[in-house]
Structure 1
Amino acid sequence: MNFISTELPGVVMIEPQVFRDHRGFFLESYHQAKFAQAGLDVTFVQDNHSKSVRGTLRGLHAQRRRPQGKLVRVVSGEIFDVVVDIRPSSLTFGRWLGVTLSAENFRQLYVPPGFVHGFCVVSETAEVLYKCTALYDPTDEIGIVWNDPELGIDWGVQSPVVSDKDRRLPTLRALMEQVLADGEA
C-alpha cells in the first residue's frame, strides 16, 4: 500500500497494490499493521455502504462530540470526494480538499476526526463503502451546507440531488457560531 499525505494534515490518500490477471483482480483494502506503520493507528467500529445515482451529493457531515474518522472507497462508479477542516485551532481550518475516487483507480481516502465529509456522484451510479472509527449517532450529527459560498467548493455540478436535511445545513460560519455559543470551541 502507498500512503500519500495531502495538503490537509491527517487526510491521507491510500493506493492499494492491485494484482490483476485473466480472472480479474485482488487487493488488500485494509491491513491494520500497515495502516499503523503509516501513522493511521485507528480502530474501525462500523462499516457503511451507500448507492447513489449521478448528481447525488451527500454531505457535508460529521459528528460533534464523538467525531468519526472515515476510510472511504468506491466499489462501483466514481465520485468527487470532499473534506473540509473544521478544527478551529487548525492552521488549515476552513480549507477543503477534493479528490476523485473510483472503482477504476482503487484509491481510498482516510478522513480523520475534525473534518466534515461529503461526495458527489459523477458516474451513472456509484457504490461507496466507508469504515468509521466511532458509531453513528444521529443526535450528534453536524454538517455544513454543500454550497457554502465562503468555502467555494467546485463540485462540478450545478443542480445536484441533495436531501432536504442536507439542504438545511448551516454554513461553516454559522456552525462555528453555534459551537462557540455552546461553549465547545
Structure 2
Amino acid sequence: MPFEFKKTEIEGLMLIKPHMYPDERGLYKKYYEKNIFAENGITCEFTESSDLYSKKGALRGLHYQTVDSQAKLIHVISGVLFDVALDLRESSPTFGQYHTELLKAEDQFVTYIPEGFAHGFISLTDDTIFSYQCSGKYVPSACGGIRWNDPELNIPWPLKEYGVEHIIATEKDKNWPTLAEYIALRK
C-alpha cells in the first residue's frame, strides 16, 4: 500500500497513512520517505529522532519553541496516544485553533505537525511507545508552553473514556500560561 496524505482543517497539518507491506513474516512499515513527502509539500529536514515510553496518564505539553521552531512527525508503536497540535503561527487564519488525533498503534497513522505549533499529548494506555522526528535544533532557552487544560481552548482530552484518573505531568506542564496569557505576553 503506498503512502496516503490527508489534509486537516489546519493548513500544513496532515495525517499520513504510511507505506505498508504485510506478508507471512509480519509487516514492513515505512513512515517517511523524503522525496514522496516533498511531493506532498513536506520539505523540512528532519534532524532528530526520539522514542518515548509513557505510562497511562503521562502528559507532555503543550510545548513550543520560539527560535528554530520544529516540525514533527509522530507515530505510535504500541498503545494509544491523544495528540494535540495548537496553531501559534501569527499570520495563519487558524491561529489559536487546535487539531486532535487519537493515535492507536493498530491504526498505523503518522501525524505531521509543521513548524509554528504548540504540541502536546497524553498516553491513554500503559506502556505507550511512540516515535517522533523533529526538524531544526532543540533550543531549551527558547521553549515555552500553553496550559494543556486551558478552559478557553476546552480541548476534549478523552480522560474518562480511557479511565485516566491521574495525570502525570511536570509542574511546568501543569502551570504554563493560557493561550490568552500567551497572546498578552507577546504584545
Q: TM-score, normalised by structure 2?
A: 0.92
Distance in 2 between residues matched to 1:68 and 1:88, nearest whole Å? 16
Q: Tell me which amino acid in the other structure corresponds to 1:81.
A: D
Distance in 2 between residues matched to 1:85 and 1:159, nearest whole Å? 27
Match of 2:126 in 1: 124
Match of 1:43 in 2: 45
Q: Tell me which amino acid in the other structure corresponds to 1:162.
A: A
Q: TM-score, normalised by structure 1?
A: 0.93
Distance in 2 between residues matched to 1:146 and 1:125, nearest whole Å? 22
Residue 183 of structure 2 is aligned with which of 171, 176, 185? Answer: 176
- The size of the alignment, in residue pairs, is 180
For structure 2, list consecutive stretches of 5 or more residues without a partner in the other structure.
160-164
Q: Tell me which amino acid in the other structure corresponds to 2:27.
A: F
Distance in 1 between residues matched to 2:117 and 2:21, nearest whole Å? 32
Q: Tell me which amino acid in the other structure corresponds to 1:59.
A: G
Match of 1:165 in 2: 172
- CA shift digits 1:83-114 (9 cap, x unpaired): 11112222111111111212211101110011
Trace 1:48-87 onto structure 2 (pairs within 5 A): 48-87=50-89
Q: How large is the RMSD of aligned CA atoms in angstroms?
A: 1.2
Distance in 1 between residues matched to 2:140 and 2:132, nearest whole Å? 17
Q: Tell me which amino acid in the other structure corresponds to 1:136.
A: Y
Distance in 2 between residues matched to 1:16 and 1:3, nearest whole Å? 9
Q: How much identity, in percent, do the aligned residues show?
A: 37
- SS state at 1:45 partner: strand
> Given that residues 64 and 117 in structure 2 are in contact (C-alpha distance below 8 angstroms), is that contact kept between their aligned partners in structure 1?
yes
> Given that residues 67 and 139 in structure 2 are in contact (C-alpha distance below 8 angstroms), is that contact kept between their aligned partners in structure 1?
no
Moved >2 Å (runs of 4+): none
1:24 aligns with 2:26: yes
Q: Tell me which amino acid in the other structure corresponds to 1:168.
A: N
